[in-house]
Structure 1
Amino acid sequence: MTRSPLMAALMVMPLVLLVVAGGVVPLGLLLSRAVLEREVAPALPRTAGALQRWDGTGLPDDAAFETLAADLAALRAAGAPGTAALARAAARLVADLPVLEGVLPGTAERVAETRTGRAVSVLVADPAWGEAETWAALRQAGAPASAFHPLAALGLRRTAAGGLEDSAQGPHARAILARGVGGAALATLACLVIAWPLARWIAEAPPGRAAPRAALAALPLLAGEAARAAGWSVLTEGGTAVALAALALGLVPLMALPVALALRRAGPDLPRAAAALGVPPGMVLRRVRLPLARRGIAAGAALVFAQALGALAVPAVLLPGRPLASTVLAAAAGAGEWGEAGALAAWLLVPALVAAGLLLGPLLRPRRGVAA
């Protein structure tokens, strides 16, 4: 007697909920922080609301100047909590427009000492408020959400006119992302080269020895990234090549086991027949063995690439002076910079999803003339 589809769904539901609660929800919350603005609007709520009604051309009207003066006065009156909120808002503005260093706290002090109207006092406090770019930065930072953090992760920023320009940290930010993605790709290729003989050793084993060989191949996964990185740092002085070697060797099981499973399912008949017909070994590899293992290679490459993108311990131990995107993400999360962390997580997730789609997509479609 077979179980009904409803019963099967109910049995699987706890596992689905566990996966969602443990993976999808935390990742979704982190990615949402990449676009949410949480620094300026809580500190300057009336100013943020007034600027959302501004069309962005020229300077805002006097009401915006007055609400800024009122918000700054409220922060000064709030004592220590207000000072902390002002510091967070000022740091956010400086991140978008470095020339605003000290403008917001200085304005808060000088506005209270000026005996003119509130709108005039803001201009007198700092001439930066006479520039449209200053108000554009304040408007963007005070919105509920913006593209500031995703753009900053790529080294870009918005101009007052709404265009894009390279930020001061642009080359450095893009170099971090390039090292992360390029290192993961090189580690994936190295894993395939190293794992191929290991996969054949497992696939060609007699029935009673295949499982022990597979278990032996999986031993590096039990050590953990930190232990492997620390061990490599003791044996060597580090460097890019050492970091990639440590990363590749640690992830070899994720490549070897899927490839071994694909080769074992395909069986040895076709390679042996090709060799018996006099086909050169190199052609047997290219035309027979690799096509037979393509599903395992695709699965292993997707697993290794995704894991290599998120490897934190290896670059942190071996390359402390040249951070990768993953280490910067970890540092940002540890410092509470959730916007930066979410943006880096989003940009690192994109190549992983693209790679998985390119590698696994064709394999999910049944071949013509072959039953799925």
Structure 2
Amino acid sequence: MKIQQICARLAGLAVFRSLLEDPVVAAYGRLAKALAQGAGLQAVCQAAGEMEALLFAQDTDDLSEYILAAVLECENICARQAARGALAPGLKKALEGELDFLEQLSALSLDGLLEAAGLEDSRREELAFLPRWEAHPTGLAAAYTDRLGQMGRRGYGMFARHHVFMLGDEGKLAPVRHPDPQRLEDLPGYEREREKIIANTKALLAGLPANNVLLYGDAGTGKSSAVKAIANEYASQGLRLVEVKKNQLYLLPDLMDKLAANPLKFILFIDDLSFASNDDNFAALKAILEGSAGGRAANLAVYATSNRRHLVKETLSDRTGDDLHEADTRQELLSLSARFGLIVTFQRPDKALYSQILLQLAKQYQIPMPSDLLITRGEAFAIRAGGRSPRAARQFIEQCRAGMV
């Protein structure tokens, strides 16, 4: 390809137009444009230096692999349509043409780009001091065709790069770049309770009817850890976790509409859920769980944790007020937890379960302490920590590992 053709094809990207917003690809375009316009030595060097600095900032000097990853993760109309079925003929033709161009582009070295610009040997020698990026064939077109068939598990855009997200105050999703690495095998005890949640999650992933889940129980029993570990366990099968704060519940209907068309499956995670009796978010959650006109999308489920079986805080004065239909009001408050199709209870462990958790964690952390001594000291630690719990057990074992016990 000649340099003018490279510039024209870049400018004319339609399916992969969002690639032009990628900083490295945008800088590549500026470099190609400078060469096409016959810019002077300083302008070309500045454009090349800027582009290469941006590439190196991504911890790589391999432009081919960088463009391949950007193409595979690009959110576009073809990715969305492929997730729902076959591509329209016109889109398929446009996709094939752009993939062919991007495959050629990704394999082009700096020297190849200078040659495409028709630079004389003397000018190319003047640019010999510039760093050279790695460039090689990647099979980009075939790799993207294969990825289209995996959209239900791999996703596209930021959903291909990350599996845990936070909902911002503007209603936009932000990826969690370093999520809690908790794994199911790292959580001793409560296997029976977690199995119910895992079975529900597998149903969600299989496209079967899945319940909204309330994980209720004492503090420190591993409710939140269970949800995060399940999200990590099944991320490769197309599961994504979106953490939502209680005061953001009013944003959920719009978010659910946007996620409904996504081929992936989503857990909307609300941690430490409870309401005051006059909390406006109470009605918002009721509508989300059940009863809204639009219904709930099949690829979404709400998982909430709470230390309260009845999610709405109620005082004695609430029962002695001037409400003429006080019984109906009380039933409305109590009905919220019933809207979760699955309620899993995490009770504070007894001595036998607590000892089992201690011993399994000690094995994980390779604590050489004799079992009897470990249990005795672990019990004493739990008393000081306010009672037995998996959290107290882990804190004790971590202190043992650090040599503090």
TM-score by length of 1: 0.25
TM-score by length of 2: 0.24
Higher relative contact order structure (alpha carbons within 8 Å, sequence separation ≥ 6):
1
**Larger strand share, 1 or 2:** 2
**Larger helix share, 1 or 2:** 1
